[in-house]
Amino acid sequence: MTAPILVSAYPASPAHAQWDPVLEGELLPAVCALPGVAGLEVPWMGSLHPHDDAWFLANVPAVPLAVTPVPFVMRRLGADAGYGLASADDEGRAAAVADLRRVAAGVARIDGESAASVVVVTLHTAPRATGAVEPLARSLDEIAAFDWSGARLVIEHCDAFVPGHVPEKGFLPLEAEIAGIRSSGAPIGLWVNWGRSAIELRDADAVTAQIASAAASGFLVGLALSGAAAVQSPYGYPWIDAHLPIASTHPESASLLDDAHVVAALAAAGDVEWLGLKVARRTDDVTATDALRTVARNLEVVRAAG
């Protein structure tokens, strides 16, 4: 039996690229009605919704949500290389902490003004290549003191900076993130994304081992299943963080996340509280029905593996 699954709404929905409230209003409840789906992952991009906060609050289904500010973090890093929770630059670290206070306020709005409830908020250990454990631990202490309306805080491990690799995120190594949590003592968990670990490690079997290390730390709260490819694919350049599907559902994707590695990942993670499914729509998915079919196919693989 698999853990409850949170499906990432924004890579699956064509409405996030070009706003279509009718399509989004059809897709979100349909995804939540799929077998095994408990709720959704939604992005925080400086606001509750990329296009319409009021629409989101009125239409988000009455399900558990995970809130991820990673798209906002990447945009801020583009303007300020010193920005991030793990930054040795005092101003960059303070700015990242202040933005998480804004996320906490958004979580309170979701809980108070919508039918949904936020169960997880992901944190990210920017900046690229220059992060450190000590400033991360200080940030975690400060963030944990905010009112999160009952949501669980987790560090989502992204691809760490590896000399000789062009990073997608290039944040702290998993071991440093674990050290930051331990040093802080704040009630922070870990969240591993299979595809982002593959981008870092360039080896599918090594991802299984990294998931096992995260589980052995005692901090692993969730595992998100999302693919990556070593070659150019319909989703973009090699090692792009584009949330590729499980290979058997779309062989042309060249995704390294195949059925066997889904099984191995779930076994390595053990008894986690949550699973995530984060797969992008196919290039020919233009309707809610199309996108729902893509999610459903990937979901079937995950449920069969569990």
Mean pLDDT of 254-275: 98
Q: In 3D, which of 303, 296, 277 has the Cα closest to residue 30? A: 296
Asked if residue 207 lies in contact with residue 198, where contact means CB atoms within 8 angstroms, the answer is yes
Query: Which H or E element spans position 54?
Result: helix 53-59
Query: Which H or E element spans position 298?
Result: helix 288-305
Report residue 105 as tokens: 């306020």
For residue 182, the domain's CATH number is 3.20.20.150
Q: How many domains does the chain have?
A: 1
| pLDDT number for residue 16 | 80
What is the DSSP code (8-state) at residue 169? S
What is the DSSP code (8-state) at residue 162? -
Asked if residue 73 lies in contact with residue 124, where contact means CB atoms within 8 angstroms, the answer is yes
Report residue 269 as tokens: 């993670």
Residue range(s) defining the domain that contains residue 261: 5-305
pTM of the model: 0.96
- The predicted-structure confidence for 46-88, as pLDDT tens digits, reads as follows 999 999 999 999 999 999 999 999 999 999 999 999 999 999 9
Cα distance between residue 96 and residue 100, in whole Å: 6
Name the β-bridge partners of 236: 233
Helix (H, G, I), strand (E, B) or coil at 39: strand
Asked if residue 117 lies in contact with residue 40, where contact means CB atoms within 8 angstroms, the answer is no
- The predicted-structure confidence for 122-141, as pLDDT tens digits, reads as follows 999 999 999 999 999 999 99
Q: Helices (H), strands (E): how many in the chain?
A: 11, 8
Confidence tier at 1 by pLDDT (50, 70, 90): low
Q: What are the phi and psi torsion angles at 155 (to 5°)?
A: -85, 120
Q: What are the phi and psi torsion angles at 282 (to 5°)?
A: -70, 160
Cα distance between residue 41 and residue 63, in whole Å: 10
| pLDDT number for residue 87 | 98
Cα distance between residue 140 and residue 188, in whole Å: 8
| pLDDT number for residue 279 | 97
| pLDDT number for residue 110 | 98
Cα distance between residue 189 and residue 154, in whole Å: 4
